[in-house]
Amino acid sequence: MKARARHHLRKDQEKKILDSLQTRFGKEFADKIAMAKLELLETDESDVVLIDGEPLMFIFEDIPFLTVKGALKLNPARYTVTVDSGAVKFIAGGADVMAPGIVAADPAIVEGDYVIVKEETYGKALAIGRALMPAGSMVRGKGKAVKSLHRVGDELWKLAAD
């Protein structure tokens, strides 16, 4: 992942990101981000939002969402899918999330939502993905439940925004 440009966000871009965060995670969560310095790092793969210099969000298909680092640092309670310990090594290796490994999912999740995949033991984020089914079908269901988009150890995870 190569950086092409880095600049401060325009006010309208900042408002769009904060509105999206408020819709997904609530006003208090968005207010925490509003107090920070927001920059946009354009890369050859996707745009990354730097929050106080850290790559805590990315923009995928024109929708801003937390990176794994952002989920670890900000620890949102919504839009999470929790997997059992047997799924951790596969997800950390880049695999999509299969429904039989899911032990809990935020009931608000619908097909197409971006979600944070967490491990069961410590509640730490492992990956960011897109839901392929609603939450009610995920828990101990069958088939692929979440398409992995970003995970611990990938290029976005290793990105340093010096």
Token duo for residue 84: 């059992």
Token duo for residue 76: 């949102």
d(CA 49, CA 54) in angstroms, rounded, equals 8
Beta-carbon contacts of residue 151 (< 8 Å; ≥ 6 apart): 68, 91, 92, 93, 94, 126, 127, 128, 157
Domain check: are 58 and 100 in the same one?
A: no
Domain check: are 62 and 86 in the same one?
A: no
Total domains in the chain come to: 2
Structural domain boundaries enclosing 141: 80-156
Check the CA dihedral 14-16-21-26 and report its sign: positive
Lowest mean pLDDT among 1-10, 64-73, 103-112, 142-151: 1-10
pTM over 0.85: yes
Residue among 86, 80, 129, 87 nearest 109 (CA) = 80
Domain check: are 49 and 87 in the same one?
A: no
**What are the tens digits of pLDDT across the range 56-114?**
999 988 889 999 999 999 999 999 999 999 999 999 999 999 999 999 999 999 999 99
Domain check: are 59 and 90 in the same one?
A: no
